[in-house]
Amino acid sequence: MRKFSKSLSFAIKGLFEVFNTQRNFKIQTAFALGAFVLAFVLDLNESQILWITLAILMVLILETVNTLIERMMDLIHPHFSPIVGIIKDLGAAAVLIAATFSIVVAIVIFGGRIFNWPPKYGIIVGIAFIVFIIFGSRLKK
């Protein structure tokens, strides 16, 4: 039990570190709180709550991993390097993908409940994101 409590204290310390040092994590946490409050007010069903929770946790987990990647890269290679920049960009891309997923989930669940939007509005956002990836990547070259 002692090892578990020590491991838990390290995990909590890391959680507080990312919250206290990462502006985006704070913003994402505020959105998460808002989403949970809205889910409570709208009396969402179990499935909807699980989708909202999955979307929120994906963003927060990947933001934490992105912070880990950035810190490790800064430690390993403190001076600018193009490959380090690419590695950091890939971590940020993972967060962006998760954030897009969370937007689709929010549109489907909250948009359906509040504005009576059809689920296809979420699909439109997903398609727009895919199109952006395809055509945006061609513009960069």
pTM, two decimals, is 0.92
CA-based angle 51:123:90, to the nearest 5? Answer: 75
For 102, the token pair is: 């969370």
CATH number, domain 23-140: 1.10.287.3610
CB atoms < 10 A from the CB of 109, how many? 24
The domain limits of the chain are 23-140
Q: Which of 35, 63, 91, 122 is flagged as catalytic?
A: 63
Rounded to an integer, what distance in angstroms lies between the CA atom of residue 85 and that of residue 93?
12
Residues marked as binding for ATP? 70, 88-89
Question: 46 an active-site residue?
Answer: no
Q: How many CA atoms lie within 13 A of 130 on its CB side?
A: 7
Residues marked as binding? 63, 70, 88-89
SS3 content of the chain, % helix, strand, coil (to 5): 90, 0, 10
Element (H, E) at 141: none
Residues marked as binding for substrate? 63
pLDDT, one tens digit per residue, over 36-84 is 999 999 999 999 999 999 999 999 999 999 999 999 999 999 998 999 9
**Residue 137's pLDDT is what?**
81
Q: Stretch 92-120: mean pLDDT, rounded?
A: 97
**Residue 140's pLDDT is what?**
65
Rounded to an integer, what distance in angstroms lies between the CA atom of residue 30 and that of residue 24?
10
